Amino acid sequence: MRPIVLLLFISILSFSVHAQVDSRPKSVIIPAVENENDSTDASPLTPSQPIENSTYGMNTPKVTPNLELPKKQFSMFPQEEFGNPGELYTSQVKKNIEDLKLSPKEIEAINGSTTDQYFGDFKSQAKFVKVVYRDHGYVDGDLIQVRINDDVVKPRVFLNGGYSGFKLDLQKGFNKIDFVALNQGESGPNTAEFQVIDDTGRVISHNQWNLATGVKATVIVVKE
């Protein structure tokens, strides 16, 4: 009995091993095919010659043989012809100077008036007036002298940025007030603003001046 069982076991084992061997994947070999065009005797590559083109891809412009050039040269100053180029610049400089000329009023504002200024006469029934003044420009040391009917009442006044002044009792008739510029300060001219105010607080006269040294500004109050 044992021999039969042993033989059966060996048979089953052999069949299992054979099945495992047959189950492995089989590889397929594809033979190489020679190409008639393949060759190891290929000629080496050589660099191509550059294309000669003197215009570098740009079209050469055509020149018109009968081209007429302008006979007159360009000028920044049309309608003017000069034999000497220096005359052109001299003429232009003179023109610029003419354009830069200041009016008499502008010159007076810069240098100060060289003639006495009269700001008018005003009638009043007031018993007195207040005369006040200040530097209406840059406070640069302007000095004035104040005269009443040609008498010096304030010999030397320094003009500040704020108003200062005095009380003046009016006489019957003319009361002439003169402001005389003693200097022109550091920047010039002598610049000031003044007011004449009556006893009711009404402003009788109000004005400004730009004076050269020694020039005066005058206002008259006539008491009725």
SS3 category, 140: coil
The percentage of the chain sitting over the pLDDT mark of 90, rounded to a whole number, equals: 46
- For residue 124, pLDDT beyond 80: yes
Last residue of a domain, one of 61, 89, 111: 111
Residues 194 and 162 in one domain: yes
pLDDT number for residue 148 = 97
* pLDDT over 50 at 221, yes or no: yes
DSSP state string for 186-213: TTSSEEEEEEEEETTS-EEEEEEEEE-T
pLDDT, mean over the chain: 76
pLDDT, tens digit (0-9, with 9 covering 90-100), for 69-92:
555 555 555 555 555 666 666 666
pTM of the model: 0.55
Domain holding 150, by residue range, is: 112-223
- Name 166's bridge partners: 131
Residue 117 β-bridge partners: 217
pLDDT band at 19 (very low <50, low <70, confident <90, very high): very low
In a domain, 126, yes or no: yes
Number of folded domains that form the chain? 2
Asked if residue 57 is part of any domain, the answer here is no
> pLDDT tens digit string along 177-187?
999 999 998 88
